[in-house]
Amino acid sequence: MNEKTTEEREFPITLKLFAIYQEVIGQAELRLQVIPGTTIGQVCEQLIQRYPTLAPWRSQTRFGLNLNFVPADTPLSAEDEVVLIPPVSGG
């Protein structure tokens, strides 16, 4: 059998962070490895699990994928650029 390991199946994405996400994590961008079938919403959930202080923004966050707004259940592909867009205010 020639089964691939999980590491071989993983692919990279770029996660761009703004506002509260950037403040809490301390970076503007992360490179992540995800497995096929991972959705943009799952990436957000994994981030919130790692940084629980982001939980209050879960329901208000919108998602961007390669410069387009998308729903949380959108699956990711290799080299996608993912953006988590929390509510922002100002003027």
Tell me the CATH number at 45. Answer: 3.10.20.30
pLDDT recorded at residue 88: 72
Q: Is residue 72 part of a domain?
A: yes
Total of domains in the chain: 1
Domain range enclosing 25: 17-85
Q: Is residue 69 part of a domain?
A: yes
Per-residue pLDDT of the chain in tens (91 residues, 90 and over written 9) = 445 555 568 999 999 999 999 999 999 999 999 999 999 999 999 999 999 999 999 999 999 999 999 999 999 999 999 999 988 765 5
Q: Is residue 3 part of a domain?
A: no
Q: Is residue 9 part of a domain?
A: no
Strand partners for 81: 14
**How many other C-beta atoms are found inside a 10 Å radius of the C-beta of residue 40?**
24
Q: Is residue 91 part of a domain?
A: no
Q: Is residue 7 part of a domain?
A: no
Q: Is residue 52 part of a domain?
A: yes
- Residue 17 burial (C-beta neighbours within 10 Å; 0-12, 13-18, 19+): buried
User: Which of 82, 86, 84, 85 shows the shortest CA–CA distance to 32?
Assistant: 82
